[in-house]
Amino acid sequence: SDVRISPLLEDIVDSLKPAAADSQVFVHIDCQPLCVRANPQQMKELLSNLVGNAVKYNHPGGQVWVNIREQDENIVIRVRDNGVGIPQESLDRIFERFYRVDKGRSRKQGGTGLGLSIVKHIVNFYHGSIRVTSELEKGTEFTVMIPVKWEEL
């Protein structure tokens, strides 16, 4: 089926509003008006996990930038934050089920450590790719590329 990405993203950011307001994190959206041939539930899961993490692992007054656009035969999703960052030695492991950086740090935020393993699973389902770069106390950027049919709205 088809998914309109922009309203979906707005819904997700709306549902994160309470969490974002609590921690005073601001989410910027920059999204091309695209319709994508993909499963809506999967797209929702993918985006809400990445944006949810960027809000959750952030500081008061922190920011999140979400950029979605087409590029050749792909849609490219970028989620960047200026939050707590991920240590280099953990970058390989964050996609494992139940893996969480620094149990102490993340315990108070709640969560199971499943979010990114689900994201990875969805990306693999579409034969896409996911990359992450991060610097401690500077922030994190996830880039997802998914080869799906899309149409400009």
- Give contact residues for Mg ion (rule: CB under 5 A): 53, 115
Q: Which helix (H) or strand (E) holds 4?
A: strand 2-4
* Region binding ligand ATP by CB under 6 A among candidate stretches 4-12, 25-33, 39-47, 113-121: 113-121
State which residue, 7 or 24, has the beta carbon closest to ligand ATP: 24
Both structure tokens of 33: 């008006």
Dihedral sign for Cα atoms in the order 143, 137, 121, 92 = positive
Distance CA 146, CA 27 (A): 22
Task: Tell the smallest beta-carbon distance from residue 56 to ligand ATP (Å).
Answer: 6
34 contacts which partner out of ligand ATP, Mg ion, none, CB within 5 to 8 A by kind? Answer: none
Residues 6+ apart with CB under 8 A from 28: 63, 64, 65, 66
Total site size for ligand ATP, rule CB under 6 A: 22
| Nearest CB to ligand ATP, comparing residues 135 and 151 | 135
| Distance in angstroms (rounded) separating the CA atoms of residues 48 and 120 | 13
Q: In the complex, which residues of this chain contact ligand ATP (CB under 6 A)?
A: 49, 53-54, 57, 81, 83-86, 94, 99-101, 106, 111-117, 140
